Structure 1
Amino acid sequence: MAGQLINWDLAAATAARLTPPGPALSAAEAREAVESLRRLADASVPHVHRITGLAVAEDLRDSQLLIVDRASWAKANAQGFEVMMAPVLAHLVEKKASELTPAAARVGGAITGAQLGAILAYLASRVLGQYEPFAALAPGSTVPPAGRLLLVAPNIVHVERELAVDPEDFRMWVCLHEQTHRVQFAAAPWLRGHMTEQIGKLSESLVGNVDSIMERAAAAAKSLRDRTGTSANLPSKGAILDLLRDPEERAAISHLTAVMSLLEGHANVVMDAVDASVVPSVRTIRQRFQARNENRGPIETFVRRFLGLEAKMRQYTDGQEFVRHVVDTVGMAGFNRVWESAEHLPTEEEIHDPAAWVARMGL
């Protein structure tokens, strides 16, 4: 019955139906974009190797590179979510066995699948690329053992046109960031299992406390409604974390936040380490891309906050500052100790105090 609680096929189909197709491209233009992205993705790897000093960047054949459209990205993410959520849903079925019937599970699964599809549709028109390591864990999966890197061609073309930047330069810039994620998981083959375990522990705890969390969420929502003169803004990260009173839940959220900050910040550092010899118009791209992120309308800002994307942007900044400080202090070789084991991952406190991580590592 666990597999019925979320209709994953419906989620992917809903996302494909709701997602706009992207910029108008002729067959020749689409073919050129795909060929260009594939070529530049390959060309970016030696630069990632040079900047990071990670030997695994010399050979990434255990994972897959795919140039995809928006619907394919949504389907791939539905598959990844299904793998991550399987233990949680099984735990939920066990906890709520007396309340769940097959018919109720199917109806609820359809509703949840459609809702997830709507979220994926929104994200599918905005994500430029993503390293997806989890779908390979699904039974019978044909995804290579280490996962797959997805580059979303329509979105990359859309942004490069919106910014009016050189397409080849922008595509190389994006590939540097995304290939770095691929290298991270290759350098730390334990990382996927570690993240899956942490997400599973957090989810099981949340499921175990779902009734009390829902009561606290309802009380928080009522408090917001009852306030006079309040805006439509969502609660801050702190307010949301106030719903999680279990120390283990809060610790798990903190740990996953630190890991994501590390991964995103490291990829940004690599992306920005190139100069005009690699990406001739890199300064222009950086300036216009940053300005684009700062000038969003109120509706998109609200949606991004609702989906947690604003927090993700803070992860880019916080993680980037952490990596730069460590590299400036002990060099890239010293920083690369972070990929050796889960014990070497920074805590959320260390993300904001890099010197503490350096001291803990004995560097």
Structure 2
Amino acid sequence: MADEDDRGDDREFEDMLRQLFGGSFDPSTIDPEQLEELKRMGVDPAMMQAAMRQLQETMRNTDESGIDWQAAKRAALHLANQSDRSVSSVQRGGFEQAFTLATLWLSESTTISELATAPETITRGAWVEATMPVWQELAEPVATSIADALTRAIGEQAPEEMRDMLQGAGRIMRAIGGSLFAGQLGHVVGELSKEVLSGGDVGIPVMPAGRAVILPLNAADFGRDLEIPQDQLDLYLATRELAHARLFRHAKWLRLHVIAQVTDFARGVEIDMGAIEDMASRFDPNAPDEFREAIENGALLPERTESQTAALARLENLLATIEGWVDVVTADATARIPSSDRIAEVVRRRRAVGGPGEHALGTLVGLELRPRRIREAAAMWRAVTDAVGIAGRDALWDYPDLMPTAEDIDDPAALIARMRAHAEGAPLRDEMDEAIDALLRDALGGGASGGGASSGEEPGEEPESPEGPRPV
């Protein structure tokens, strides 16, 4: 009977390590006394040593946060490669021709220069490989918050007799939440790889600056039921991707600006400690599915605060400004395509609705990547183009301070007036100028009384000069 109990303890401990810690266990975090305590459970020393070696090897893949981002990449590649195919010579040749023609057309619709590197056609797996560092950067703040919250909650909810064992194992507990989150991120990115058409398709710059790519397999799937000639669709997509890549290569500050706003938003996400503590109170090491499902459906992310809502609005305006410019430039460049208007509307609707992968990303980090003001932003860029020309419009991307604001989207006429005044020799005014003017108006207004007469003077009476009364 004792032997059966010991074997039961062996299996229980082995399952605990494998399922609870998900292969993310660092034996260095447990002191010898704790190891002796585990041995008194009847665990076979040989089995323990083998488990420790395996877990040590796995922990090498985790970074300082204790999150195994390599697991996320493996999960994403597994999904991407399930239905992936290599790019055929016919597909590659077709898009090479499309990119060549798109380059010529864009030279007529924008003054922003060509790319330094040739555009590419890539597979879903290659897209995952290229974009995973950005997804990790965007998701890391939320992953860290979940891991921290889970560590704190489980430590508080653990029975008294287990707290000594849990002391010094903080990295292990962080790895529970981190591993589950990394797995879900990998799933989301893998699903996205089946939806995205190009490098700039998700709105944020996930590809390195100046690199333009098309996923021919996804483009073919996208156009299958549209009743639009595939060559026209490919030419439109190639033009749009080149316009997007050109913009981020020209405005070198823009990529960092977008990424910073996204990560700032993600850092502001606070985990719902009530939900974490509730799940931790009934946590079953052998069944971590509840945590996994909570991460997947966004149950751990509470309602947005006012500051988060404001940050999201700023991000949406920024993305809409970028997408609006790309829309206008693409429309002008592809005017020769017979189905260009139909394709533009299909792309616009698809972008507004988003796909399953994008919605999953929204629940994972609380961020929707589809801005709602693209039509208004495109209308602003069209008005600016008509008023000051292509060169004047594109010059707004030369410096961050010149970039249109949300107020400019609402009132393009004011932006155009400022640009015309600048063209005529007046300095281009910005928010700092307006703020200084407001301060001066307040100062002058605060020091005046009685209809503008200074203190001690009768209304309507002119002040005397320092030398005395003025001669008549």
TM-score higher than 0.5 here?
A: yes
What are the ranges of 5 or more consecutive residues in structure 2 without an aligned counterpart?
Answer: 1-61, 153-168, 277-300, 423-472
Q: 1:256 pairs with 285, 298, 315, which one? A: 315
- Equivalent residue letter for 1:257: E
Query: For 1:69 and 1:83, how far apart are their aligned partners in 2?
Result: 22
Residues 41-56 of structure 1 aligned to structure 2 (within 5 Å): 41-54=99-112, 56=113
Across the aligned residues of Structure 1 and Structure 2, the Cα RMSD in angstroms comes to: 4.1
- Equivalent residue letter for 1:12: K
Query: For 1:295 and 1:264, how far apart are their aligned partners in 2?
Result: 15
Asked if residue 180 in structure 1 is aligned to residue 239 in structure 2, the reply is no
Q: Name the SS of the counterpart of 2:321 in structure 1.
A: helix
Structure 1 residues 180, 196: CA separation in 2 closer, same or farther (over 3 Å shift)?
same
Query: For 2:313 and 2:193, how far apart are their aligned partners in 1?
Result: 27
TM-score of the two chains, using structure 2 as the length reference: 0.56
Query: For 2:398 and 2:328, how far apart are their aligned partners in 1?
Result: 19
Q: 1:75 pairs with 120, 126, 129, which one? A: 129
The answer (yes or no) to whether the contact 2:199–2:206 under 8 Å persists in 1 is: no
- Equivalent residue letter for 1:345: M
Residues 151-162 of structure 1 aligned to structure 2 (within 5 Å): 151-162=214-225
The answer (yes or no) to whether the contact 2:240–2:326 under 8 Å persists in 1 is: yes
Deviates more, 1:3-12 or 1:110-119: 3-12
Return the offset for 1:341.
1.4
Task: Name 1:113's counterpart in structure 2.
Answer: 182
Q: Work out which of the two has the higher radius of gyration on C-alpha atoms and give 1 or 2.
A: 2
Query: For 2:147 and 2:247, how far apart are their aligned partners in 1?
Result: 36
- Give deviations 1:33-79, integer Å, cap 9, x for gaps: 1222233223312222210122x22xx11x56332222322332222
Residues 159-238 of structure 1 aligned to structure 2 (within 5 Å): 159-204=222-267, 206=268, 210=270, 214=272
What are the ranges of 5 or more consecutive residues in structure 1 without an aligned counterpart?
Answer: 137-145, 219-239
Query: For 1:269 and 1:181, how far apart are their aligned partners in 2?
Result: 11
Return the offset for 1:321.
1.9
Asked if residue 130 in structure 1 is aligned to residue 199 in structure 2, the reply is yes
Percentage of identical aligned residues: 23
Q: Name the SS of the counterpart of 2:235 in structure 1.
A: helix
Residues 320-331 of structure 1 aligned to structure 2 (within 5 Å): 320-331=378-389
Query: For 1:266 and 1:187, how far apart are their aligned partners in 2?
Result: 13
Query: For 1:176 and 1:260, how far apart are their aligned partners in 2?
Result: 19
Asked if residue 332 in structure 1 is aligned to residue 401 in structure 2, the reply is no
Q: 2:405 pairs with 337, 347, 353, which one? A: 347
Task: Name 1:245's counterpart in structure 2.
Answer: 306
Query: For 2:318 and 2:183, how far apart are their aligned partners in 1?
Result: 30
Higher RCO, 1 vs 2 (CA within 8 Å, ≥6 residues apart): 1
Return the offset for 1:337.
2.7
Query: For 2:219 and 2:386, how far apart are their aligned partners in 1?
Result: 32
Structure 1 residues 280, 305: CA separation in 2 closer, same or farther (over 3 Å shift)?
same
The answer (yes or no) to whether the contact 1:74–1:120 under 8 Å persists in 2 is: yes
Query: For 2:317 and 2:392, how far apart are their aligned partners in 1?
Result: 19
Query: For 2:351 and 2:261, how far apart are their aligned partners in 1?
Result: 30
Return the offset for 1:162.
2.0
Deviates more, 1:342-351 or 1:307-316: 307-316
Return the offset for 1:96.
7.4
